Amino acid sequence: MTLKKILLVITIISTLSCNSNKKENTAIKTYPDITIVSAMKNVMWKGELAGNINLDTITNKKGLYGIGPKSYLTGELLIVDGNSYVSKVTSDSTMTVEKTFDVTAPFFVYTNVTQWDEIELPSNIKTIKDIETLVDQKTTDNKRPFAFKLTGTISSAVIHIQNLPEGTKVSSPKEAHQGQISYKLEEQQATIVGFFSTEHKGVFTHHDSNIHLHLITKDETKMGHLDEVDIKNMKLYLPKK
């Protein structure tokens, strides 16, 4: 084989290898306890709104937790202990919450946790920033990233649901949030599911936070991305080491 042909073969193999790696990066499985599918920034900046995962394809649903948006930003997704919920806007003050795995997401993060350490929240832990600080302090020796949850009563909260108009093109976060509806909750028993990472801003947390939180009320009639909260009485659950 001539040198020219050898170089051509090397180039082809290199190209195929690069393309293969790009394809694999759609589902990043770098971390043994967490699966990350695509990234928030791909939706917000590149307009990649179509589904990259069907939640039905997640085979191990025991102790399954996950969060993300619905494909084409037409709702919010939350998995709590193996139960999958989809919320959609019906008006400025109402929503629907459906229990189903038959749904897709443009980006998603999920994990399986069956054993938790329970922590009583100090009375001064009230806000999302308080939660982030406490979780960070309590997990300096834990494997990261990880999921956590809170259960109990909130005095108030604001959640939102993505509601992008059909056919909208997205190339920035501002465009991605068109149609988004916020809902105010008062005196509710609820579960908050969160994912913590200091390394995944723009992947599954926003650029200014190390946590991404979704909330569902105990009666399962309200669910969405958590923007604000005033905690009344809740317990924090962290994965056992």
**Chosen domain end from 93, 110, 127:** 110
Nearest one of 151, 60, 148 to 112, comparing CA atoms: 60
Task: Tell me, yes or no, whether 106 and 123 share the same domain.
Answer: no
Task: Tell me, yes or no, whether 102 and 43 share the same domain.
Answer: yes
Task: Tell me, yes or no, whether 207 and 137 share the same domain.
Answer: yes
Q: For residue 59, what are the domain limits?
A: 27-110
pLDDT of residue 57: 95
DSSP assignment of 53-116: EEGGG----TTEEEEEEPGGG-SEEEEETTEEEEEEESSSS-EEEEE-S--EESSEEEEE---E
Of 51-55, 91-95, 186-190, 203-207, where does mean pLDDT reach its minimum? 203-207
**Number of residues written out for the chain:** 241
Of 9-13, 39-43, 67-71, where does mean pLDDT reach its minimum? 9-13
Residue 10 exposure: Cα atoms within 13 Å on the Cβ side: 7
CB 35 within 8 A of CB 45: no
DSSP assignment of 34-62: -EEES-HHHHHHH---S-SEEGGG----T
CATH of the domain at 119: 3.30.1330.80
Residue 179 tokens, joined? 């149609």
Give the confidence band of 23 by pLDDT, cuts at 50, 70, 90: very low
Task: Tell me, yes or no, whether 141 and 196 share the same domain.
Answer: yes
**Chosen domain end from 83, 110, 137:** 110
Residue 21 tokens, joined? 């790696």
- Report how far residue 6's alpha carbon sits from residue 155's, in angstroms, rounded to the nearest whole number: 69
Kindly report, residue by residue over 101-128, the tens digit of the pLDDT.
Answer: 999 999 999 999 999 999 999 999 999 9
Task: Tell me, yes or no, whether 189 and 213 share the same domain.
Answer: yes
Give whole-number Cα distances, 147 to 33, 64, 175, 216, in Å: 9, 10, 29, 16
Lookup result for tokens 């998995």: 79
Task: Tell me, yes or no, whether 149 and 197 share the same domain.
Answer: yes
CB 154 within 8 A of CB 185: yes
Task: Tell me, yes or no, whether 10 and 62 share the same domain.
Answer: no
Give the confidence band of 2 by pLDDT, cuts at 50, 70, 90: low
- Segment 19-37 shows an average pLDDT of 58
Query: Tell me, what amino acid is at 187?
Result: E
Task: Tell me, yes or no, whether 141 and 171 share the same domain.
Answer: yes
pTM: 0.86
- Report how far residue 238's alpha carbon sits from residue 147's, in angstroms, rounded to the nearest whole number: 7
Domain count for the chain: 3
Higher-pLDDT residue of 201 and 139 is: 139
Task: Tell me, yes or no, whether 133 and 193 share the same domain.
Answer: yes
Task: Tell me, yes or no, whether 56 and 160 share the same domain.
Answer: no
Between strands 211-217 and 223-239, the pairing is: antiparallel
DSSP assignment of 7-36: HHHHHHHHHHHHHHHHHHTTEE--STT-EE
Kindly report, residue by residue over 68-79, the tens digit of the pLDDT.
Answer: 999 999 999 999
- Report how far residue 191's alpha carbon sits from residue 179's, in angstroms, rounded to the nearest whole number: 25
Contacts of 225 (CB under 8 A, 6+ apart): 69, 76, 159, 160, 161, 162, 212, 213, 214
CB 141 within 8 A of CB 163: no
**Chosen domain end from 110, 130, 152:** 110
Task: Tell me, yes or no, whether 130 and 218 share the same domain.
Answer: yes
Task: Tell me, yes or no, whether 129 and 210 share the same domain.
Answer: yes
